[in-house]
Amino acid sequence: MQLGTGTATTSRAAAGAAPGDEPRVTIGQLNAWNVFDTEDDPHSRDTVYTPEQYHARTVKLAGMIARDMGAPDVVTLQEIENERVLQDLISMPQLAGLGYHYLVSGKADTRGIRNAILYRSTRLTLRSLEEPNPVTTLPPEDPKLIGSDRLFARASMVATFGMAGADDAHYAAFTIINNHFKSKLGGDFWEPRRKAQGAFIGGLVDALHGAEPSIPVFVVGDLNATWNDGAYQSLQRRADGSARLHDALSALPESDRYSYVYRGQKDLLDHLLVTPDMQDAVESVQILHRNTQKDSLKKRFNSRTTFGTSDHDPIVASIRLGAAAPKQR
């Protein structure tokens, strides 16, 4: 397994939270919508942008992260082609001075899109990074794809971070799992795979939280599933029906619970879930409806606005980390 990492050349020195402050982390989530570079990859069905289109896409994405999302401590992204895109992104003027480092998954689907994580090194330190992807006997998404016997074409990223400069290694740590589940295209044929993906990540949450109860686990990403879909249910609940995770977006008004609009149908496909012990630690959460407004997608290559940066809306949340720490050590 190879996971790419990188930094911006202008990152600042790390600085932790002020002594005595309860650690907080801000999390952003966005399916970036097929951000490809200007070169053709002969090994994937990638889109090749013109230099002008590529510049517009990266400018818009940088602007959305920095301004609209408020430069979160950690940002989970989906549908990023490669490390070049991420290096160019964090080098954009909007992000270059914020100390962002990037992580990118080593597994891409047939179109060459990957999962990625940005994190601010001025706030966070990376402790571990894994990409679990078990073998499955389910029908492959693409038999010609290397690793087609794996459960995920776009493998989930499991990253554990600590707050920079924190004295207590457990008190200020958290694990985030960045996901991009199989899409609904193809209908019921793919439902067993989608459910299996949810169940696998759910089991991973149980294992991580059971081994280190003081380190909260956050499950984030484009699950391509609403609350009623099997993929979501197998993730959010255990086989006995008990709740494994709490969706932070449930705190929003019902009219606000959507991140994607297709032919007028509003759906919540992107999620930010926490273990039940962290439910009250979510101080704020919002979905920024800048990409799902009428005609926003027509501005896809208009670098003067962040409207239409993606076909999904971004999510931003602030969470207190101390809530999961045991009372006695």
- Enumerate residues 6+ apart whose C-beta is below 8 A from 160: 126, 127, 128, 129, 173, 174, 175, 176, 215
pLDDT-derived band at 21 (thresholds 50, 70, 90) equals low
Spatial distance between the Cα atoms of 38 and 17, rounded to a whole number of angstroms: 40
pLDDT in tens, 29-69: 999 999 999 999 998 889 999 999 999 999 999 999 999 99
pLDDT value of residue 121: 96
Calculate the alpha carbon distances from 36 to 154, 285, 291, 301, 314 in Å: 16, 29, 19, 13, 19
Tokens 């070169």 locate to 39
Rounded mean pLDDT of 240-269?
Answer: 97
* Residues 112/81, Cβ–Cβ less than 8 Å: yes
Beta strand pairing call for 157-163 and 173-180: antiparallel
- SS3 at position 3: coil
Chain CA centroid to CA 276, Å: 20
Tokens 């907080």 locate to 24
pLDDT value of residue 108: 73
Spatial distance between the Cα atoms of 299 and 262, rounded to a whole number of angstroms: 17
pLDDT-derived band at 148 (thresholds 50, 70, 90) equals confident
* Residues 204/177, Cβ–Cβ less than 8 Å: yes
* Residues 127/173, Cβ–Cβ less than 8 Å: yes
Rounded mean pLDDT of 104-128?
Answer: 93
- SS3 at position 21: coil
pLDDT value of residue 5: 63
Beta strand pairing call for 260-262 and 265-267: antiparallel
* Residues 189/198, Cβ–Cβ less than 8 Å: no
Spatial distance between the Cα atoms of 156 and 103, rounded to a whole number of angstroms: 12
Angle made by CA atoms 208, 213, 218, in degrees to the nearest 5: 55
pLDDT value of residue 37: 97
77: pLDDT strictly greater than 80? yes
pLDDT value of residue 328: 38
Chain CA centroid to CA 51, Å: 26
**Whole-prediction pTM value?**
0.92
pLDDT-derived band at 20 (thresholds 50, 70, 90) equals very low
Pick the range with the lowest mean pLDDT from 5-9, 13-17, 22-26, 165-169. Answer: 13-17
Please give the sequence-ordered ranges of beta strands (E in DSSP) within 52-181, or none if there are none. 74-80, 100-104, 114-120, 124-130, 157-163, 173-180
pLDDT value of residue 214: 93
pLDDT value of residue 185: 85
Pick the range with the lowest mean pLDDT from 144-153, 213-222, 272-281. Answer: 144-153
Give the domain ranges of the chain.
4-324
- Enumerate residues 6+ apart whose C-beta is below 8 A from 207: none
pLDDT in tens, 198-213: 999 999 999 999 999 9
pLDDT value of residue 61: 99
Q: To which CATH superfamily is domain 4-324 assigned?
A: Endonuclease/exonuclease/phosphatase (3.60.10.10)
Looking at residue 203, its amino acid is G
User: For the chain, what is the largest distance between any 2 Cα atoms, rounded to a whole number of angstroms?
Assistant: 58
Rounded mean pLDDT of 226-245?
Answer: 97
The phi and psi torsions of 127 (rounded to 5 degrees) equal -105, -35
Q: In what order do the strands lie in the sheet with 74-80?
A: 4-7, 100-104, 114-120, 74-80, 24-35, 315-320, 282-287
25: pLDDT strictly greater than 50? yes
Chain CA centroid to CA 316, Å: 11
As beta bridge partners, residue 4 has: 104
